[in-house]
Amino acid sequence: MSQVLLDSQNRTLPGRFFNTGENVRKPWRFSYVRHRVRIGSGKGNEIDLLGAAGAEKWVCQSKWVTGRPIGRRIMEELAAQAGTVREDMNPKTLRMWIFAHDGLTGPARKFAGENGIHWTSRKESDELLDYLGLRPLPDLQPQPCCVLSEDSGLFRKKTPAENLRSEADRTG
């Protein structure tokens, strides 16, 4: 996401990449792009990416969750984080953007539309990265770390030999 913010400075990007009907104009120059910014204590108070370009701030979250879309609760957390940025930094313009690997649920889409949240699924992200001439995202496959022990019926960590066999099975 930070590469997209930095590479697309002073450009207008097609809204289709952000699931919005309007094109998205990026500011002239980001003065900073910070990762993992803590805006308070407790759960839900860490912004994955905070970008600033003068009086414009971008509050961004990345949710690499596969197998299911992101729900409304995550969108509400993003909006709350943006609210804290609005209170603390008083930006003239505040943008919210979330990467959700498998997209959003219906209620989350509705919330995004009502609150001006840009969102990008893996599909749109791949298209956006290609459009900008950036490297594609990696294909991450889950690596099982545990196996069910036949003796006890409990999960245990894989041995190094079992990990090697698993790798050989995946690569053929």
Which pLDDT band, with edges at 50, 70 and 90, does 44 fall under? confident
Q: What is the pLDDT, as a whole number, of residue 157? A: 62
Residue of 88 and 40 predicted with greater confidence: 88
CA angle at 166 for the pair 162 and 172, rounded to the nearest 5°: 140
pLDDT digits (tens, 9 = 90+) for 79-117: 999 999 999 999 999 999 999 999 999 999 999 999 999
Q: Are 85 and 59 in contact (CB under 8 A)?
A: yes
Average pLDDT over residues 5-15: 95
Q: What is the pLDDT, as a whole number, of residue 165? A: 63
Average pLDDT over residues 132-149: 73
Q: How many CA atoms lie within 13 A of 159 on its CB side?
A: 4
Structural domain boundaries in the chain: 2-140, 141-172
Q: Are 97 and 18 in contact (CB under 8 A)?
A: yes
Q: How many CA atoms lie within 13 A of 104 on its CB side?
A: 24
Report the CATH fold assignment for 2-140. Answer: Trna Endonuclease; Chain: A, domain 1 (3.40.1350)
| Among candidate residues 43, 73, 71, 74, the one with its CA nearest the CA of residue 60 | 74
| Among candidate residues 95, 86, 139, 85, the one with its CA nearest the CA of residue 119 | 95
